[in-house]
Amino acid sequence: MQRLLRGVRSIHLAHLLRTGVHLDACEMRDKLKFEFSEDNRRRVTALLAWYPEPEWKGALLPLLDIAQRQQGWLSISAVHVVAETIKIDPMEAFEAAQFYTMFFMKPRGKYVVSVCTSTPCKLRGGDEIFEACKKTLNLEHGQTTPDMQFTLKEDYCMGACVNAPVLAINDDMYEDLDEKSLGDILADLRCDKLPPAGPRNGRFASEPKGGPTTLKSHPPPPGFMMQELPDPKTNKCQ
Amino acid sequence: MFRKLLPNNLRSLGEQQLRLVQTVSKEAEKQPKKSKKLDPPKGYKPNCKTKFGPLDDCDRIFQNLYGRHDWRLQGACERGDWHRTGDLLEQGPEWIMEQVSKSGLRGRGGAGFYAGRKWDFLRKAKSEKVPKVVIVNCAEGEPGTCKDREILRHEPHKLIEGMLLVGVAMGCGRAIVYVRNRFYNEACNLHFALEEAYHHGLVGESACGSGIKFDVMVQRGDRYLCGEETAMINCLMGKLGRPRRRPPYLTEKGYFGHPCLVINAESIAVVPSILRRGSEWWAGLGSSYNTGTKLYCLSGQVNNPCTVEEEMSIPLKDLIERHAGGVKGGWDNLAAVFPGGLSTPLLDPPTAAEVLMDFDCLVAAGSGLGCGAVIVMSKDSDPLAVMLRSIQFFEKHTCKQCTYCRDGAIWLPEIFARFVKGQTHPHEIDWTLAIADKIRNSKPICGLAYSQVSVAESLVRLFGPQIEERILKYAKGS
């Protein structure tokens, strides 16, 4: 019987280790204590002022985001602190934190490299960019380098399809990539130098590459084509 | 003993299954396509334009689309934002709603409901105790679309002014903007613009000096499915972002019990210009019942992918050739087009050469306008691999509440992967149609299931012969 129980527990533990979700044991919670810093405490109070008190639950995602930016990732203790601040059940906060892909429940690298591999980016060579990233960083999807500098992720549609293929490092987006500019970006990041964000093939935003085909003239002045407004006191609307 | 029980004319099990599947797919074809004709709001008069071509620059609303001018308050005011907004507010909510109804504005988020009719629901909702809320949808998760990103980072003041006018028209005192987490820098632009607006008294305690209290809040969230309205409400309330069923409608009981309405960012950002230039100007652009201008995002295998603002109902071929430099390799190199993002059925080259980019024409051609994101596939790419990637998108983003959607998200990528290799049987083409039919006739909570169906059916309709070719090639061992 004992051997059976031990066997069951080892299967359970092996499963946990495989999926990477480490449930905080009671001892670890004290070692990994989390507290909002001074600045963040001010931010939290300012944020909660926007929500009426019965609706504080709506501030869950923004507060988790502030906690994540302070710590780099979200530990269980951080989730508990956030749940205490807005007075909800910690299990609900943990559920939400695990559901959304913007929260990292494990320690992650300093630069999270997300490559978009959705249909518009694939049509313009997103797959080759992902393969090049994998080869240069020597990582698979979801893994972190041993020196905790890079984490590689494969993301789905980052909302910049016109500037495909797209790469995102933390919050900045690098667009219009090819192999050479990708190599430059990763080389810069290895030396901790942040390269300038945005399109890398010479264009500024989302205008056509050869120059804009629209909006070539100066914008019209205010009041252009303004209609005659009826006098609100005399003209009652039907 | 069992052999005697079997009837003599019973064929093998495989053939039985094939016959079942074939009957299902044939019956699906016989059902007439149900199309509800939406009634326009009262006061709208259709026009009789037949030629829709390039717009004049002065007819365009988003003058700073490419970020060449200053996006802050000073630059925005030079381009005409916040001009006489106080006078517009003085006209009253009924005047604003009347102007929007007469212009025939249709929702830019994908569904294409008449804004006059949809916004009327919230206006008529009674709310003495609980104030109403306007929720602005900048989620933009659909592959292919990136128009709201330009509005957020280059024209935030149009959005803020639009929120104020629309909120006042519906009787709301509060607006919440939902921005996707990936747009952190764009949300920063919006925050800055909001601070400027508060500082100058344009929103806040007494918006534009009219005595109306209006507050705006920005919140970020994640996941493609949070672009769907009920899932977005759940996300904003701090719960899991999954859609919920629709009697309690959002106009009765939405965000924390407040009556609310979810409107796309582009629909709101064009409202100030409609009110200033008049509804006749807007109704004069585009064809009847599909009025105004639209932001189109041209991506995929074109020479110069870009975002443009063009007139509604412009021919698709004209749009691609004029602004995106044409398909890579010439128009004859075109294999298929997604006219409205990944969730709309594909168009084949003969249809694409003639179709106009508006709601009614595309629905008549078997597709839909969606959010105006044109994804172009040329013959240089492997169509089966591209469709596999498209269906894998839905596999990652289903919320797994509805059985049919969840199972379809498991089966369809497996079947498509086998199509890519050719390591399959021609029955599976019929099975794809049967699965798609089952998903369509179940009653899913949200529209992700219908998107899977349209991708699956597009594959079979357009690339069926190529799948069979590949099966033969694999079977021959080459």
The whole model's pTM is what? 0.86
Distance from CA of B132 to the nearest CA of A (A): 14
Residue A132 structure tokens: 């090049």
In chain A, residues 47-106 whose CB comes closer than 8 Å to chain B: 50, 54-55, 57-62, 65, 88, 92, 95-96, 99-102
The first and second tokens of residue B277, run together, are 């230039």
- Tell me which of B57, B299, B454 to substitute to probe the interface with A (most A C-beta atoms closer than 10 Å): B299
As given in the structure block, the two tokens for residue B146 are 């990136």
Structure-block tokens of residue B442 = 């179940």
**Are B325 and B300 spatial neighbours (Cβ–Cβ below 8 Å)?**
no
Could you read off the pLDDT of B376-389 as tens digits, one per residue? 999 988 999 999 99
Residue A58: which of A92, A25, A34 has the closest Cα? A92
Is B137 in contact with B280 (CB distance < 8 Å)?
A: no
On the question of pLDDT at B212 being above 90, the answer is: no
DSSP state of B227: G
Nearest residue in B to A176, CA atom: B305
pLDDT digit string, tens, across residues A78-101: 899 999 989 999 999 999 998 988
What value does the mean pLDDT of chain B take?
Answer: 86
Euclidean distance between CA atoms B470 and B319, whole angstroms: 34
Q: What share of residues in chain B are helix, strand, coil (percent, to 5)?
A: 50, 15, 35
Calculate the CA A124 to chain-centre distance: 23
Rounded to a whole number of angstroms, the distance from the CA of A233 to the nearest CA of chain B is 9
Q: Which of A86, A119, A124, A166 to mutate to test the interface with B (most CBs of B within 10 A)?
A: A119
Please list the residue range(s) of chain B that carry CATH number 3.10.20.600.
Answer: 293-378
Share above pLDDT 90 across residues of chain B, in percent, rounded to a whole number: 35
C-alpha to C-alpha distance for B442 and B406, rounded to whole angstroms: 12
Q: Which of residues A13 and B473 earns the better pLDDT score? A: B473
Stretch 5-34 of chain A: residues touching chain B, C-beta under 8 Å: none
For B217-235, write each residue's pLDDT tens digit: 999 988 888 888 899 999 9
CB B92 to CB A237 under 8 A? yes
User: Which of B142, B150, B389 is closest, CB to CB, to A206?
Assistant: B150
**Contact at CB, B65 and A206, closer than 8 angstroms:** yes
Q: Report the pLDDT averaged over residues B393-422.
A: 90
Domains of chain A with CATH codes: 2-99 (no CATH), 111-199 (3.40.30.10)
* CATH assignment, B382-476: 1.20.1440.230
B213 vs B96, B205, B208, CA distance in Å?
17, 5, 10
Q: Is B307 on the interface with A (CB under 8 A)?
A: yes
Instruction: Note the CATH architecture for domain B293-378.
Output: Roll (3.10)
In percent, how much of chain A has pLDDT > 90? 16
Name the superfamily (CATH) of residues B60-284: NADH-ubiquinone oxidoreductase 51kDa subunit (3.40.50.11540)
Contact A136, A186 (CB under 8 A): yes
The verdict on B249 touching A (C-beta cutoff 8 Å) is: no
Interface of B with A in 324-383 (CB under 8 A): 324-325, 338, 342, 373, 375-377, 381
B183 vs A contacts (CB less than 8 Å):
159
CA of B325 to nearest chain A CA: how many angstroms apart? Answer: 8
Q: Do B180 and A159 touch (CB under 8 A)?
A: yes
Condensed to tens digits (0 to 9), the pLDDT of residues B92-114 reads 899 999 999 999 899 888 888 89
Q: Report the alpha-carbon angle B341-B144-B371, nearest 5.
A: 45
Query: CB-based contact (8 Å) between B181 and chain A?
Result: yes
Confidence band of B32 (pLDDT split at 50, 70, 90): very low
Query: Does the pLDDT of residue A198 top 70, yes or no?
Result: yes
Q: Where are the alpha helices (DSSP H) in B200-329?
A: 229-236, 265-269, 271-277, 279-283, 316-323
CATH 1.20.1440.230 in chain B, residue ranges? 382-476
**Shortest CB distance from B238 goes to which of A57, A118, A219?**
A57
pLDDT band at B19 (very low <50, low <70, confident <90, very high): low
Looking at residue B195, its pLDDT comes to 92
Measure A161 CA to nearest chain B CA, in Å.
5
C-alpha span between B319 and B293 (Å, rounded): 13
- Show the CA angle centred on residue B359, arms to residues B354 and B365, nearest 5°: 45
**Contacts with B208 (C-beta within 8 Å, 6 or more apart), sequence order:** B82, B85, B86, B89, B164, B201, B202
Residue of B nearest to A61 (CA): B238
The number of residues in chain A equals 238
